[in-house]
Amino acid sequence: MKTIMLVCSAGMSTSLLVTKMQKAAEAEGLEANIFAVAEAEADSHFDEIDVLMLGPQVRFLEGKMKEKLEPKGVPVGVIDMTDYGTMNGEKVLATAKELMK
Give bridge partners of residue 64 from the DSSP assignment: none
For strands 32-38 and 2-8, give the pairing.
Answer: parallel
pLDDT score for 52 = 98
Q: Which residues are catalytic?
A: 8
Per the CB < 8 A criterion, the answer to whether 83 and 20 are in contact is: no
pLDDT at 20 over 90: yes
Span 34-70, pLDDT tens digits: 999 999 999 999 999 999 999 999 999 999 999 999 9
CATH architecture, domain defined by 2-99:
3-Layer(aba) Sandwich (3.40)
Span 81-95, pLDDT tens digits: 999 999 999 999 999
In the 8-state DSSP scheme, what is residue 46? G
| Residue 14 pLDDT level (bands cut at 50, 70, 90) | confident
CA 82 to chain centre: 15
pLDDT at 13 over 80: no
pLDDT score for 11 = 62
Using alpha carbons, list the distances in angstroms from residue 56 to 1, 10, 24, 31, 78.
Answer: 26, 13, 21, 25, 6
